[in-house]
A and B are shown apart, each in its own frame.
Chain A
Amino acid sequence: MDETVAEFIKRTILKIPLNELTTILKAWDFLSENQLQTVNFRQRKESVVQHLIHLCEEKRASLNDAALLDIICEDVDLFDMKQFKNSFKKILQRALKNVTVSFRETEENAVWIRIAWGTQYTKPNQYKPTYVVYYSQTPYAFKSSSTLRRNTPLLGQALTVASKHHQIVKMDLRSRYLDSLKAIVFKQYNQTFETHNSATPLQERSLGLDINMDSRIIHENIVEKERVQRITQETFGDYPQPQLEFAQYKLETKFKSDLNGSILAEREEPLRCLIKFSSPHLLEALKSLAPAGIADAPLSPLLTCIPNKRKNYFKIRDK
């Protein structure tokens, strides 16, 4: 084995913390099971490294093998599923004593977690579990809304610690459709699969409205229609929108009035109001507002920013 390769491997291995060493070596898959079994990982690090280099020499590690080891080490999010599950379960059990935690791994590096909550003195309630889906290659987890308020901080803590992150932040994004939440959070919703020939005259393209081809009907505002269509396409794209059911805006504002001495204007406390939009498919409904003539284009950015800002629950205050 080349001197430089040996040196490179040595330095790479030295950088790996001892508790991750076996995981990384297994992932590297260069040294055999038998070889690894001969190593005493409890020794001083220098001794472990020396032994490993010796084994690499035996197997004639090449520069390619060394490079591969380097890549594996660079993967900071090297995720250990078993460790995550153990850690997660332990944190909940230590805090609550009575809790049922179950895991199911699926493709896409997702782990589904089911938690039935009890307390120090009561058995877990199996009829009101919380479901969490954690995508291990991302810093995101999705939680069902059925959690009792008092268990939410503990759940957050368990996820944070077990996944080796520093803190957890709740996003103001809610929907019944996990796929839609994923599409928005991972920014996967804006894939256009068809190519559009923009030279196609308006009458032939599908506008989402049926333009009657009866020649006895004449549309006077074709130019305006085209403007609306163009703006709608620029805002929403040609792709199907992710499915959300609500958008909620909490508004806090001071009453403004021209009249002097108006009781409402004198209020110290801001006025609060709540506006909620609901629809089986909110974003598609918003997209069709201007083409249907129900609203003017362009729509308010408060409505169109939803997938981009990854939120559908807003708090708006006076600046």
Chain B
Amino acid sequence: MSVLRPLDKLPSLNTATILLVGTEDALLQQLADSMLKEDCASELKVHLAKSLPLPSSVNRPRIDLIVFVVNLHSKYSLQNTEESLRHVDASFFLGKVEGFRATMAQRLVRMLQICAGHVPGVSALNLLSLLRSSEGPSLEDL
């Protein structure tokens, strides 16, 4: 079973790739659209998937950030997320984000830029260790 591991590919110049995983395609589309509307110095690429694992036949760039979109009204959505999580290395986990779509899109874009290494002074590794320590800032503060 192939597992996505963090930092196992080289980043591409000025491109930040995010993967949104969730059962409800319409929700993923809407979030993708909101994110792409944000002002962003980096070139954004949004991959949408229903579940993991991703089809292996495709040549895809390094994924800087994975977001699992769960519909809390749907058991099906939660089950799908749980099953998909098995394919992601545990060290990948950063936290959860809640809120209105517009603010969420903004936060995700900023996080993505950090993860892609486009923000000077903050690296993806920094972020992992920052969020792991309980005294560190929460995702909302970023």
Question: Which A residues contact B (CB, under 8 angstroms)?
Answer: 209-212, 214, 216-221, 223-225, 291-296
Contacts and interface: CB of A to CB of B under 8 A. Distances in A.
Contacts of B76: 294-296
Contacts of B44: 216
Interface stretch (B3-11, B20-28, B113-121): B20-28
26 contacts: A209-B26, A210-B29, A212-B33, A214-B33, A216-B36, A216-B43, A217-B48, A218-B45, A218-B46, A219-B47, A219-B48, A220-B19, A220-B47, A220-B48, A220-B49, A220-B55, A220-B58, A221-B55, A223-B55, A225-B25, A225-B50, A292-B25, A292-B26, A293-B23, A294-B23, A296-B76
B50 A216 contact: no
Nearest to B36: A216
B24 A294 contact: yes
A55 to B, nearest CB: 75
B58 A209 contact: no
Given A216-B44, A217-B36, A223-B55, A209 B50 contact: no
A290 to B, nearest CB: 10
A238 B70 CA distance: 31
A218 B47 contact: yes
B113 to A, nearest CB: 15
Contacts of A212: 29, 32-33
A214 B46 CA distance: 10
Nearest to A220: B49
Given A209-B26, A294-B23, A218 B36 contact: no
Contacts, number: 63
Given A220-B54, A223-B55, A292-B26, 17 more contacts: A209-B26, A210-B29, A212-B32, A216-B36, A216-B46, A217-B29, A217-B36, A218-B45, A218-B46, A220-B50, A221-B48, A221-B49, A221-B51, A221-B55, A292-B25, A293-B23, A293-B24
A225 to B, nearest CB: 8
A284 B29 CA distance: 21
A224 B45 contact: no
Contacts of A220: 19, 47-50, 54-55, 58
Contacts of B23: 293-294
A214 B51 CA distance: 21
Contacts of A214: 32-33, 36
Contacts of B133: none
A294 to B, nearest CB: 6
B91 interface: no
Contacts of B24: 292-294
B74 interface: yes
Contacts of A296: 76
Contacts of B33: 212, 214
A285 to B, nearest CB: 14
Contacts of A291: 25
B44 to A, nearest CB: 6
B54 to A, nearest CB: 5
Nearest to B23: A293
A210 B26 CA distance: 8
B50 A224 contact: yes
